[in-house]
Structure formats: C-alpha cells, structure tokens
Structure 1
Amino acid sequence: MKLQVLILEDDLITSRDLTEVLTQNGMEVLGVAQSAEKARSLFLSQKPDVILVDIKLKGEEDGISFVKDFNSHHIPVVYLSANSDAETLKKAYATTPSSFLTKPFDEKDLIIAIELAFNKHLAQTYQEKKSVPSSSGGFIFLKTGNKFEKIELEKILYLEADGSYTKVYTKEKFHLSAKNLSYFSEHLGEDKFIRVHRSYAVNLNCISKIDSKHVFIDSKAIPIGRAYKENLNDLSDYFI
C-alpha cells in the first residue's frame, strides 16, 4: 500500500511541485488544501498517514493552529516554511512535529523526512500497544501517590487535559493521571468515551444534554471543539 499524504500549502506552484515529487517517489497524495478549513475537511474524510503543513497561510488560521487542533489524532506532521526564525520554530516545535523543513527544500530531504516521520510513528504506536493495560474488565487502576486506586469506568464522568496530565473526574472527586488525554481516548474504548474537544473526553452514558456548542454532564457544560463535531455523529441514532 502506498504511503498516503495530505498537503496543506496555499502556494499553487509549491503544492504542484510537492504533488509531483511525492507521486514520482511512490506516494499517494490524498488531497491538497490551500486553507486550514479545507485541510480539516480532507483530514477527517481521508485519514492520511502523514501531513505536510505550510506554516504561513492566507486567512485567519496558520499551519500551526491547524496542527494543534489535530494533535490528538497522532498523525505525523512535517512542517514546510520559508520562516525559520526563533519564534516560529518555538511555536512549531511546541506541537511536536516529526520534522521541519525550510523552503526551498531538497527533494531527497523531503522524501526522507516523510518516510522517517511515518516509520517513527509506526514504531511508537507498536510500543504503546505493547505497554497498554487492558480496560476490557470495566475498570482501570490510577496511580495515587505510591499506590494504585481501582476506578470503575462507569463511574468516570469525563476527562480533562491538564498540560501533559489528565484529570479524571468521578462524582466524588477527580484523579490526576500522568498519562495524557490522548492515551485515555485511545485506550478506554470509543464505545464508552468520546472526544468532544482537544481538552475533553466524556463518558457517553453520562451525557445529560447536548446543544450546538456544548455537551452537558449534569450541570457541567463541556465545549465541543469544531474538529470533534463529527465524533458526535456516532450518536445520531439516538436523536429522535
């Protein structure tokens, strides 16, 4: 199977050159977006293996903003930019990209960066799967101080990102875990928990109300991120 790449680049000549180079090197270009909004739509419908992202874009959103919205999906990102100043690099590296190439880039360097990004992603995914404890028994153990406390999944109301940590809320209290929110989203089960925002995941059985901008867990209003609205489509069978 060909390695599938999504391109976010607003310069037509550059995007054409990128498409040609990738195709000649045996890769498949799933789509080319000139704006973050278009890239968001393509990303959700195509599910690429790697994304090439130009940092400076026309419009309100830049490439870094787009990547922030989709970091939870763990898709390798290779940044392309004519700007390599310290401030740009700082903002870009904060989103943990797989690579950063300055324009004009060398064709060989581009292909190597994409292949390394994808292979590193595969290796990390494999290691995570090997080390993931099963939650199929309906519970998890969360470390509290020097001990592990058993938490039944049905008692978890929602989870909130707190930097690289996660707050796990039950009716009684919240537990602070050293695992990030993406870890929980991937391993607690999509049939039990749904990601509604880059900072929140909720227990499906605990949702009491939904409007256009929020899901509610009792009186707690949790925002719905625009990148995650499609996740709520899974609940469409329950809308009468």
Structure 2
Amino acid sequence: MIRCVVVDDEPMALEVLEDYIRMAPNLTLQQSFSNSLEALAYLQSNEVDLLFLDINMPDLSGIQLLKAVSKPPLVVFTTAYSEYAVKSYELDAVDYLLKPIEFDRFMKAVNKAAEQLQSKSGVVANGATAKDEASVAKDYIFIKSGYQLIKIKLDAILYVEADKNYVSFVTPEKKILALMPLSEVMQMLPPEAFYRIHKSYIVALQHIEAIDRQHVNLHKQQLPIGKTYVADFFKLLNQGI
C-alpha cells in the first residue's frame, strides 16, 4: 500500500482528496492537514510515500513546504491556478492536478507515483513483482457518468463508441455514457489491450471474433475500420495480438 498525506487549506478540496484516496485500492490515508506548518512537522518525523500538496497556502506555500522537508516523499501538487504548473515540474513533482480534480485524472497521477515507487523498490510489500502490481492496478477504471463514478472492469469492455462530446463504454450487459473525448479514453486504457480502429471506435482486442478489410466483428456487433486506421491496425494483427 502507498502511504499518503494530504495538505490543503481548503476543507472541500481536502475532503475530496481524502475520499479519492479511500476509493483507490492501492492507497492508504496516513494523515491530512489544513495547516502547512503542522504538515511540515509531521513530514519531518514520519515516513510517507506520496504527498498530495496544495501550492497556494498561508504560512508556508506548498513549494516552500516541500523545500523545507529534509527527505521529501513523492509529491503530486494540487492547485486552482494553472500558472504554477511549470514550477511544480521544476521540483520533480510526479504530477500536477488542477482543481476541481476528477477521479480518473487523480488515478493517472497515482499510477505514475506507483510506477516510480515500484521502480525504486522492485518488489512490493506482498512479495509480488512491480510488474505484477502494475497489472493489478490496471484491471479496472472509474468513469464519471452523470453524478456517479462507475467502476468498469477492463476485461468487460467490448468497445468504446464516440458520439459528438460523449462516449459509450459498451459491455455485454450495458452501455455507460460519459462526457469526454475518445482521445482521453485512449489514455485511460492499456494500449496492449485496446486499439482505435476508427475515429469513433476503440475495440478490446481480446473480444474480436472476426476481421475483414472493412469491419471488426465482436459480440454480435460489426464495427467499421476507418481508412486512416486500417494500415496500422493490420500491421498490429500481423505482429500478433
């Protein structure tokens, strides 16, 4: 488990990050602070893996706090001000989250941190290799649909279909509608398991039943292969999927 601390002087922002950490299967909330000086004292005397740190705070800013910690943990900066982005990366931050923070974007930052921690240790606490742990962390995603965050198992997704500003995650049982571009969906899905075959479709390679030059068949559905995607798609097939 990745031990986390949250520092944010805004109560609502602090609560959101606390909830997200509790929802994530590989995180544990060690402590949270609304006061940066109290957080500094804690960080100086306790081992922490990952710090979610607001930049714009009274007393000590997040950047000042981080510089004051003798052995700083990995840090993900959070702020409502995009002009801090460059400064955060200069300090070797794992990631930079702009408020209001969506859960899927939060998990991207978490996965980056997990990879860095695993590359340092090589072995996780339960004895699995870092590669094993990474694959476990990627077996599902959370999608914001309306006012809900819906958990979807990756192996249940047949394909993803875009319609204007929305996408539908299609499983054998249902369709889950979300407001996001297909390009963002591609960043969420493991590239070894999903492939974009059309401007409007991403398919799960494991569920493909048949292919011709113009279509992919899966689960009683026939999806078109776009002209601009066909060459790369068949190159992938020739390499073995």
Class of the TM-score when normalised by the shorter of the 2 chains: 0.3 to 0.5
TM-score, with structure 2 as normaliser: 0.46
Query: Which protein, 1 or 2, shows the higher relative CO under an 8 Å CA cutoff with sep ≥ 6?
Result: 1
Larger Cα-atom Rg: 2
TM-score, with structure 1 as normaliser: 0.47
